[in-house]
Amino acid sequence: MSLDILYEDGNIVAVNKPVGTASISENDLHLQTIHSLLQEKYQQKIFIVHRIDKEVSGIILFAKNSGTHKYLNNLFANRSIKKNYTALVYGVIENESGRIDKPIREFGSGRMGIDETKGKRSITDFKVIKRYKEFTLLDVSIITGRRHQIRVHLYSMGHPVVEDLRYVDFKIQNQFPRLMLHASRIEFPLQNGTLKIIESPLPENFSKFVDVLNQPS
């Protein structure tokens, strides 16, 4: 598999991850991941900064050295990195925008959920891009970065991400070929103070189904 590099300098590399490819290896050291491909490409240690789910496509950042790794980790910890996702969800959302502020924790087997007493505070903002008869296309930004945060939050408001096999009733699956969630934009200051914006257009296996929805019925 070849790497689709969106941005690179002496300290940072941003990759456009395809759906179905893991960001990093959790247990299987022989699994081909974006991280392993980068280390093979550069023949050096590449530092993991964050991750996106295997089922999600889009932008993921890595650091080329320990100093940049620490710098980017601090940006994430201080919420100085803005990440936007494009999501197609079930149902028609009436509000033009909104904020979901609900605590999340793991409930076992990798499934996350809302827990008002034991969960960690999690904040997700959304804006409507376009409404369809049975779906809504959203621009989603995360203030915190919990695992499955967008998927859990949208599910909790009754508008789960399309084709989310983990959080959606199987009866309404299989209309689309993939989880309809894409990491589309990331904005952060480089170490020299320059504001960096990296964008990733919707991949074909996402955009062509949105195009179908745009066609008159």
Burial of 82 (0-12, 13-18, 19+ CB in 10 A): middle
pLDDT tens for residues 94-110?
999 999 999 999 887 77
Rounded CA gap, 24 and 35, in Å? 5
Is residue 167 within 8 Å of 158, Cβ to Cβ? no
pLDDT digits 0-9 by tens, 129-174: 999 999 999 999 999 989 899 999 999 999 999 999 888 865 665 6
Residues annotated as catalytic (active site), given as ranges: 53
pLDDT at 199 over 90: yes
Instruction: Compute how many other C-beta atoms are within 10 angstroms of the C-beta atom of residue 38.
Output: 21
Q: Looking at this protein, which amino acid is placed at residue 52?
A: I
Phi, psi of 88 (to 5 degrees): -105, 125
Global pTM reads 0.92
3-class SS letters over 107-126: CCCCCEEECCCCCECCEEEE
Identify the CA nearest to 103 among candidates 60, 146, 133, 45: 146
What domains, with CATH codes, occur in the chain?
Answer: 5-214 (3.30.2350.10)
With tokens 């779906």, the residue in question is 135
pLDDT at 183: 98
Q: pLDDT tens across 54-95, in order?
A: 999 999 999 999 999 999 999 999 999 999 999 999 999 999
